[in-house]
Amino acid sequence: MAVYTDIGEDELDRLVSEYDIGQVLACTGIAEGVENSNFMLQTDVGMHILTLYEKRVDPADLPFFLGLLDHLSTRGFPCPSPLRTRAGQTLSSAAGRPAAIVSFLRGRWPRKPKPVHLAALGDALARLHLGAADFPLRRANALSLDGWSDLVRQTGSGADTVMPGLSEELDREMVTLRAAWPGDLPVGVIHADLFPDNIFFLGDELSGVIDFYFACNDILLYDLAICLNAWCFERDGAFNITHARAMLQAYRERRPISRAEFDALPLLARGAALRFLVTRLYDWLNTPDGALVIKKDPLEYWHKLRFHRGVADTRAYGLDY
Amino acid sequence: MAVYTDIGEDELDRLVSEYDIGQVLACTGIAEGVENSNFMLQTDVGMHILTLYEKRVDPADLPFFLGLLDHLSTRGFPCPSPLRTRAGQTLSSAAGRPAAIVSFLRGRWPRKPKPVHLAALGDALARLHLGAADFPLRRANALSLDGWSDLVRQTGSGADTVMPGLSEELDREMVTLRAAWPGDLPVGVIHADLFPDNIFFLGDELSGVIDFYFACNDILLYDLAICLNAWCFERDGAFNITHARAMLQAYRERRPISRAEFDALPLLARGAALRFLVTRLYDWLNTPDGALVIKKDPLEYWHKLRFHRGVADTRAYGLDY
């Protein structure tokens, strides 16, 4: 839950005066989000989002994140658009933290996604990948093979307290993924965290994609693999093939995929499942009980990983090449 | 921290369709507040606050709370104004809970109150008391003498784990307050929880008073006593006599106070301090460590109680009768 940092009225007025957006009319802390402190900031010219970057975000990454939002929004992609100060900067500071003000996007995230949402998601992912193709900055994915290995090592036998035998399973999975992880698929900027609460709709129309703070350069299809896990399983763990088909079909209508990309999807989905399994596991084992954070179940992603292990090929996700 | 209940898009659309406010454009959970789930609800006609009432609010009290807001806002008092459904109701339901939509008030609560804010507070309290004088509904104050006694009994010797000897001090204070509590002062509707985060300003202008969920019928000056504690102590515990004077002076310019009211203030302030001391103490001892709530220090109010015990008379608050 967000709003870790409060911001005093003098400090807020000073920050807002750097921009050409008039006076502050209201500033309300937002409950959603876990990484940063976010506020709905109403000024004379309209509604914005003010973000104070907390310690989980590396300040050195902010030019990449804000530059990407600027790049994509300039190309018509429905992501938050960073406002510029009168000095032309998208990054400022307030309350001792890096700060940015971005445009407010209307819409609500879908609590019960339907195929129409999945198709919009697939199309948006392809537009994001295509739109960022000429974005000049780069950011390595800290949560790829080496990052997963580090987390597996750090959680160690603690994994077995969550599920007996999990530690050995993770070691074995890492061996498989390292050996088979593709090195020749198209790469580019990916969102890398496009869960349902990061995408807004007005009715059936996609109105916004938010929360780019895991965006990085990696295999483009890995973004789809993350979404397969985040959007295509029911609460009871059942795989929703209709959702998967709608997303994948819409993606490749906008951005055609190669046979190699198509074939790699089950393996990429295993990797994507492992990625959230090990970060959740780490948080599960290392978050103090009294912390104001809801811990997410790591085993949800263990079950997803096992599903992808068991599929014969990408046709299990609802479409032929 | 708020937002205990999420609300799905179908359920939200259904709720909003009961009102004449167009379509939902955005609905964002608010981080502030601890009793209910609050959302900033943007529709075609503007910004509103949607509240889902959680279990700490008795549904039987909602006609009083919503009726009071309606009564006061009709008389020009800057509190949230409940919207009416097409059927004329201010109370509806959603996600299995009582629900209401009220007008959104601009402004921000003062993190560092200045005398100008205290004067506006005093004036607003007097306007609230006068404006509610002809409000027909009544609600007893569950957190007066009997309620305090109950909490002192329930916390029992647990108080001594917070400060050695506190349990006996509380018993003794209850005896004093019961014996001396005035029975003949003017009564009426009071806010009873007017902390700085419940009052909004635009610059130096008061723009809103919110959170009426402790409002009740009680001694009018007791409301001022609560504010003496909530607004007139520095973080280091020092009493700010300039704040107190500004508030009390502005109040009595709008609503003249009797000699008896004036003289009763130190005792009322002791009672008001005890009220927050015992509720914080109860929460301190009974909130599970893992709960997503920040526990407030009960001893802050013990120090305030001792300050009021030590004053000779109301002149210690900065003004003569």
* ipTM attached to this prediction: 0.83
Q: Report phi then psi at B74, rounded to 5.
A: -60, -30
Which two structure tokens, joined as six digits, stand for B9? 């898009």
Number of Cβ within a 10 Å radius of residue B296: 14
- A25-31: average pLDDT: 92
Which letter, b or e, does each residue of B186-222 get, where b requires 16 or more Cβ atoms within 10 Å of its Cβ? eebbbbbbbebbbbbbbeeebbbbbbbbbbbbbbbbb
Which two structure tokens, joined as six digits, stand for B319? 């003004």
Q: How confident is the model at residue A34 (pLDDT cuts 50, 70, 90)?
A: low
B111·A9 Cβ contact <8 A = yes
B67: closest CA among B215, B188, B204? B215
The predicted model scores a pTM of: 0.88
Enclosing H/E stretch for B76 = none
Q: Would you call B44 an interface residue with chain A, using a CB distance cutoff of 8 Å?
A: no
Rounded distance between C-alpha atoms, residue A173 and residue A305, angstroms: 9
Residue B294 to residues A71, A235, B55, B272, B288, Cα–Cα distance (Å): 40, 31, 18, 21, 11
**pLDDT for res A32:** 74
| Helices and strands of chain B, counted as H and E runs | 10, 9
pLDDT tens, position by position, B180-200:
999 999 999 999 999 999 999
Rounded distance between C-alpha atoms, residue A156 and residue A170, angstroms: 9
**pLDDT for res B294:** 67
Rounded distance between C-alpha atoms, residue A191 and residue A219, angstroms: 11
- In this complex, the residue of A8, A25, A294 whose CB is nearest that of residue B111 is A8
Distance between first and last Cα of chain A? 41
Is B29 in a helix, a strand, or coil?
strand
Domains defined for chain A, CATH in brackets = 9-103 (3.30.200.20), 115-317 (3.90.1200.10)
Number of Cβ within a 10 Å radius of residue A304: 24
- Asked whether residue A200 carries a pLDDT value surpassing 70, the answer given is yes
Closest chain B CA to residue A34: B31
Distance from CA of A112 to the nearest CA of B (A): 8
Q: Would you call B10 an interface residue with chain A, using a CB distance cutoff of 8 Å?
A: yes
Enclosing H/E stretch for A216 = strand A216-219
B273: closest CA among B228, B219, B311, B217? B228
Which two structure tokens, joined as six digits, stand for A94? 């307030």
pLDDT tens, position by position, B127-143:
999 999 999 999 999 99
| pLDDT beneath 70, residues of chain B | 1-3, 33-34, 289-294
Probe site for chain A from B3, B7, B9 (most A CB atoms < 10 A): B9
- What is the identity of the amino acid at A10? D
* Cα Dmax for chain B: 61
DSSP secondary structure, B165-216, as one string: THHHHHHHHHHHHHHH--SSS-EEEE-S---GGGEEEETTEEEEE---TT-E
